[in-house]
Amino acid sequence: MRTVRFGIIGCGLMGREFASAAARWCHLPEMDVRPEIVAVCDTSDAMLAWFRQHFDSVKQVTSDYRDILANPDVEAVYCAVPHNLHQQFYCDIIRAGKHMMGEKPFGIDLPANRAIMECIAEHPGVFVRCSSEYPFIPAMQRLCRMVESGECGEIIEVNTGFLHSSDMDPEKPINWKRMARFNGEYGCLGDLGMHPCHVPFRAGWVPKNVRAILSKLVTERPDGKGGTAPCETWDNGTMFCETLDPRTGKLFPWTIKTQRIAPGEKDTWYCEVLGMRKSVGYNSKNTDSIRIMDYSQKGEQAWQHIDMGHETAFKSITGGIFEFGFSDAVLQMWAAFLYEMEHGQAPSLFTGCVTPEETALSHRLFTAALESHRNQSTVPVDAGLQ
């Protein structure tokens, strides 16, 4: 078993999810490579204290990320920091020759993403991917295999989305994800958009143009110090894209919803593909279940609901009948990152993490979406590589 020694920069919500996944790597009996967390960096003492308490393997604790980059024991870095820091931190990590899992949106805006892409091109020996865990849910993997095989036939339409209700309460104090200087002009598009784009992009479906409608529903929030602060970012966004399926050369409509104010939706990720032979849908509200409708033999058009249990892409010790959860998806995503880094390619099309090129496409889409909303017009998406 080869060990890859990791540094984590940004030890908040996602940094700790990775550490927890690394701590139960024994869950994956067939992996021949494992992560070990040896260094952590955060500007918050509370976050660092959690790592000190739980990880004997951590030898370096710092508030300056450059210390991690100078550490020869660190082979790879997971960087999970606010979006305004992505460009500088990611470029410095890559220039230091460390393999990197970055977080979405992979740059606060299109110029930041372009700078990161240039840096990656200048360092071809560095393995770089972006985090996105939902496609590793077994029911989604089943949907992905159907997409890969082409069994749905000609695509009629695709609907994907990520819906939260975490900002329904206007009295919820503001945090960095609602401030444009940390989160960027994209707002909910940058924050949530990679999740509903990952599978369609990997399928090769390319948005040609977009008409977007964005909403700012809560314009100020408590600042946590007794006053109020402007809430500048987009809360909700719907993108309607004319999309090319390279398999048929035909265009189909793809609707993407990213919403932080979606009543009744705590953390709902969904993907629906309607085809001329079969349709298939997944919704995280019913996380084990996939629905499939097969009318290829011209019978009744009736949904079939199938429970998937724990049929994971990377074999797990959990019994096949048991339910799958968010932290399981994070563990599977990290298995995908390490597997591809170690073996040079993912086991299959949909068992790889988001590539830098896919983040670049997402930036071109989100930037076009901002323009579309501003001008109330349909805007072309430059689909070519940069």
Ligand X SMILES: NC(=O)c1ccc[n+]([C@@H]2O[C@H](COP(=O)([O-])OP(=O)(O)OC[C@H]3O[C@@H](n4cnc5c(N)ncnc54)[C@H](O)[C@@H]3O)[C@@H](O)[C@H]2O)c1
Q: By CB under 6 A, name the binding residues for ligand X.
A: 9-14, 41-44, 47, 65, 80-83, 85, 103-104, 131, 133, 191
The answer for residues whose C-beta is within 8 angstroms of residue 24's C-beta and 6 or more apart is 331
Our CB check for ligand X shows the closer of 123 and 164 to be: 164
Q: Of the two residues 85 and 251, which places its CB atom closer to ligand X in the complex?
A: 85
CB nearer to ligand X: give 11 or 212. Answer: 11
Nearest-approach distance from CB 101 to ligand X, in angstroms: 10
- The residue sitting closest to ligand X, measured at its beta carbon, is 12
Nearest approach in angstroms of CB 279 to ligand X is 27
Measured from the CB atom, the residue of 261 and 330 that comes closer to ligand X is: 330
Indicate the residue among 239 and 274 with the shorter CB distance to ligand X: 239
How far apart, in whole angstroms, are the C-alpha atoms of residue 214 and residue 164?
15
Residue nearer to ligand X on the CB measure, 104 or 123: 104
Q: Which one, 240 or 350, has the nearer CB to ligand X?
A: 350
CB nearer to ligand X: give 127 or 269.
Answer: 269
What is d(CA 189, CA 241) in angstroms, rounded to the nearest whole number?
A: 14
Q: How far is the CB of 11 from ligand X (least distance, A)?
A: 5
- Give the separation between CA 116 and CA 110, rounded to whole angstroms: 10
Q: What is the 3-state secondary structure (H, E, C) of the chain?
A: CEEEEEEEECCCHHHHHHHHHHHCHHHCCCCCEEEEEEEEECCCHHHHHHHHHHCCCCCEEECCHHHHHCCCCCCEEEECCCHHHHHHHHHHHHHCCCEEEECCCCCCCHHHHHHHHHHHHHCCCCCEEECCCHHHCHHHHHHHHHHHHCCCCCEEEEEEEEEECCCCCCCCCCCHHHCHHHHCCCCHHHHHCHHHHHHHHHCCCEEEEEEEEEECCCCEEECCCCCEEECCCCCEEEEEEEEEECCCCEEEEEEEEEECCCCCCCEEEEEEEEECCEEEEEEHHHCCEEEEEECCCCCCCCCEEEECCCCCCCCCCCCCCCCCCHHHHHHHHHHHHHHHHHHCCCCCCCCCCECHHHHHHHHHHHHHHHHHHHHCCCEECCCCCC
Q: For residues 9 and 335, which CB has a smaller minimum distance to ligand X in the complex?
A: 9
Min. distance of Cβ 218 from ligand X in angstroms? 19
**Beta-carbon contacts of residue 203 (< 8 Å; ≥ 6 apart):** 144, 147, 148
CA 82, CA 183: separation in Å to the nearest integer?
Answer: 7
CB of 125: closest distance to ligand X in angstroms? 25
Q: Least distance to ligand X from the beta carbon of 65, Å?
A: 5
User: Which residues, 6+ apart, have CB-to-CB distance to 63 below 8 Å?
Assistant: 41, 42, 43, 48
What is the smallest separation between the CB atom of 291 and ligand X, expressed in angstroms? 24
Q: Closest separation between CB of residue 337 and ligand X, Å?
A: 12
When the beta carbons of 9 and 117 are compared against ligand X, the nearer one is 9
Query: Nearest distance from residue 229's CB to ligand X, in Å?
Result: 16
Closest CB 312 distance from ligand X, rounded Å: 18
